[in-house]
């Protein structure tokens, strides 16, 4: 990594969309502040807490509706939307705990 301790803030696609244009310039002040309050730092020494099996068990990959569940998970955890491969990297790379993950999964299930 070129820049150590770089911070990542994610804005949801809905919050960054204006008409057909998607970009941070379209986000409201509230959406930007929410993203900055959920900032993440990539861990250099990753702890492999999450696996494909866990993602599959919680219907985040390989199932109908997995994309929508990943989008909700990314929003709740402040790690943004990503595909199945990338979400595994972000969960492990940003130091998301299993407790935080399970709470987010519960919230997704409760709101379905």
pLDDT of 45 reads: 64
Q: Is 2 inside any structural domain?
A: no
Q: Which of 2, 3, 7, 12 is nearest to 71 (CA)?
A: 12
Per-residue pLDDT of 42-90, as tens digits, reads 766 667 899 999 999 999 999 999 999 999 999 999 999 999 999 999 9
Distance CA 66, CA 72 (A): 10
Question: Is 61 a member of any domain?
Answer: yes
pLDDT for the residue numbered 9: 81
Q: Tell me what pLDDT residue 39 has.
A: 78
The burial of 27, by beta-carbon neighbours within 10 Å (0-12 exposed, 13-18 middle, 19 or more buried), is given as: buried
Which residue carries 């250099």 as its tokens?
A: 44
Structural domain boundaries enclosing 42: 7-110
In the chain, how many domains are there? 1
Is 88 contained in some domain? yes
User: What is the token pair recorded at 20?
Assistant: 């057909």
pLDDT exceeds cutoff 70 at 14: yes
Q: What is the mean pLDDT of the chain?
A: 88
Taking the C-alpha atoms of residue 77 and residue 38, their distance in angstroms, rounded to an integer, is: 8
Contact 76, 107 (CB under 8 A): yes
DSSP 47: -
| Residue 1: inside a domain | no
pLDDT of residue 99: 96
């Amino acid at each position: 990594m070129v820049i150590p301790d770089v911070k990542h803030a994610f804005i949801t696609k809905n919050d960054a969309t204006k008409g057909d244009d998607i970009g941070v310039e379209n986000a409201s002040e509230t959406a930007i502040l929410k993203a900055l309050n959920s900032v993440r730092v990539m861990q250099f020494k990753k702890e492999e807490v999450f696996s494909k099996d866990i993602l599959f068990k919680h219907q985040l990959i390989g199932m109908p509706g997995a994309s929508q569940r990943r989008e909700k998970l990314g929003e709740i955890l402040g790690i943004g939307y990503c595909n199945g491969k990338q979400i595994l990297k972000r969960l492990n790379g940003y130091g998301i705990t299993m407790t935080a993950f399970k709470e987010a999964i519960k919230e997704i299930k409760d709101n379905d």
